[in-house]
Each structure stands twice: as structure tokens, then as C-alpha cells.
Chain A
């Protein structure tokens, strides 16, 4: 039973560029949440996808957008990258009111 997977593992971009991160949920899970974790801090909720729609959003600007596909996998897109967007991006999957299980994350460095 595969757990949550994410790609790529690492990414280097320059300011102003755009990035797409990918997440495949744990088998049997239908909900994907995305988090940003800056160094030394707790994960900060970005948004959550269920049935291909965004149903909750944290305090992140519109530069952060996402998508969920019919197979429940999800993408996180960030436009007009800023230096401050450098962080570990984590996705977590869940089913109904069950616990969230995290993927290994994508470490994004913006230069």
C-alpha cells in the first residue's frame, strides 16, 4: 500500500518564475491538503481539495493555486515566485474525518 508521494523532491527556481508541485494521495484517500513549512516552523495550511474543488483555504495569496484530478492526485501551483516562498511544501491526504498523512515534501528554493 503506497503512502503519500510527492514530486519533485527538490526544486530551484528564480524570482518571478512559476512552479508546479505534485502529490499522489495514500490509497483510499480522497482529500488532499497542502502546507508550507518554513525552516524551524510548523506547517502552515495553504488549501484543501476534495471532489476536485478547493473547499478550505488558509491565509495565502492568489499566487497559490491548486487542482485535484479525478484520481484524487493534486497539484500546487505558485506564480510570480518570491524569495519568501522558499520552504518545504507538504501535502497530506485523508479520508472522511480520518487523520491526515503527510508526503515527504518538496523542498523549493527561490533565488
Chain B
């Protein structure tokens, strides 16, 4: 079945450094890849997403890259701040609006002031 793997499971960085989280997916039909940030006790919040017709997308300090051939995608956070500390989930979904979204297991990011 569909599967999304995510690495690392935990990540600690100094404030101001960059953080990179990597994901791989198994279903080659996947074409939509959202990233969610979940703070403790709160709902997952969409921070950025990318579709398979695009190789990279940026939004201020956050960027996502996609390699469809290798079936992997990555989240890059630059100039990290303490408020970036949270659990980050990557996910993959298929072509149609009713394809289920499969989530990775999450990466716990700690930004040390």
C-alpha cells in the first residue's frame, strides 16, 4: 500500500541555522505533497504544499523541493526561530480530489535559542 517515510524523527538546530526534513513516498501516482506543522496540543497547520508539475516552491523562510523520479521531497527552513519548534509532517496524495492523504510519521524540530 501507499507509504510515506520521513527523516529524521528528531532534529535540533541552533537559532538562525537551517533545518532540512526529507520524505520519500511509494505511490508513483502521487502528485500533491503538503507539509503540516503541529504545535503541542494543537491542530496540524498547512505551511506549504507542492504539486508534481513544479520542482520547487518557496514561501519566505520555507521552501519545498520535489524529485518525482526519485520519489522524494524535502522541506527547508532557513534562519530558524524558536517559534519554528514543532512537529512537522510531510504527506502525499494522488491525482484526484478524493485521493486519500498519507502522512509521514513526523519530525520533531527543536530550535535552541
Instruction: Name A's B-contacting residues (CB within 8 A).
Output: 31, 33, 35, 40-45, 48, 50, 55-56, 58-59, 90, 92, 94, 96-105
CB contact under 8 A between A45 and B100, given known A99-B34, A102-B44: yes
Nearest-CB distance from A86 to chain B (Å)?
16
Q: Which of B57-113 contact A (CB under 8 A)?
A: 89, 91, 96-106
Chain B nearest CB from A51 CB (Å) reads 10
Q: Determine how close the nearest CB of chain A comes to the CB of B24; give it in whole angstroms.
A: 14
Chain B residues within 8 Å of A, Cβ to Cβ: 1, 6, 32, 34, 36, 42-46, 49, 89, 91, 96-106
A99 to chain B: which residues have CB within 8 Å? 34, 46, 49
Which of the residues B36, B91, B98 comes within 8 Å of A50, measured between beta carbons?
A: B98
A31 to B97 alpha-carbon distance, docked (Å): 9
Q: Which residue of B lies closest to A46 (CB)?
A: B100
Assembly CA distance A75 to B32 (angstroms): 26
| Cross-chain contact of A48 among B32, B36, B49, B98 (Cβ < 8 A) | B98
Complex alpha-carbon distance, A103 and B38, angstroms: 12
Chain A residues near B102 (CB, 8 Å)? 45
Q: How far is the CB of B42 from chain A (nearest CB, A)?
A: 7
Give the distance to chain A from B43, nearest Cβ to Cβ, in Å.
4
Task: Tell me the smallest distance from the CB of A80 to a CB of chain B, in Å.
Answer: 24
Q: Give 5 A-B pairs besides A43-B103, A98-B97, A100-B46 with Cβ atoms closer than 8 angstroms.
A: A33-B101, A43-B89, A48-B98, A58-B100, A96-B97
- Asked whether B103 lies within 8 Å of A94 as measured between CB atoms, the reply is no
What CA separation (Å) do A58 and B105 show in the bound complex? 16
Which of A55, A92, A99 has the most B CB atoms < 10 Å from its CB?
A99
Residues of A within 8 A of B89 (CB): 42-43
* Least CB separation from A98: chain B residue: B97
Residues on B with beta carbons closer than 8 Å to the beta carbon of A59: 1
Task: Report chain A residues within 8 Å CB of B103.
Answer: 35, 42-45
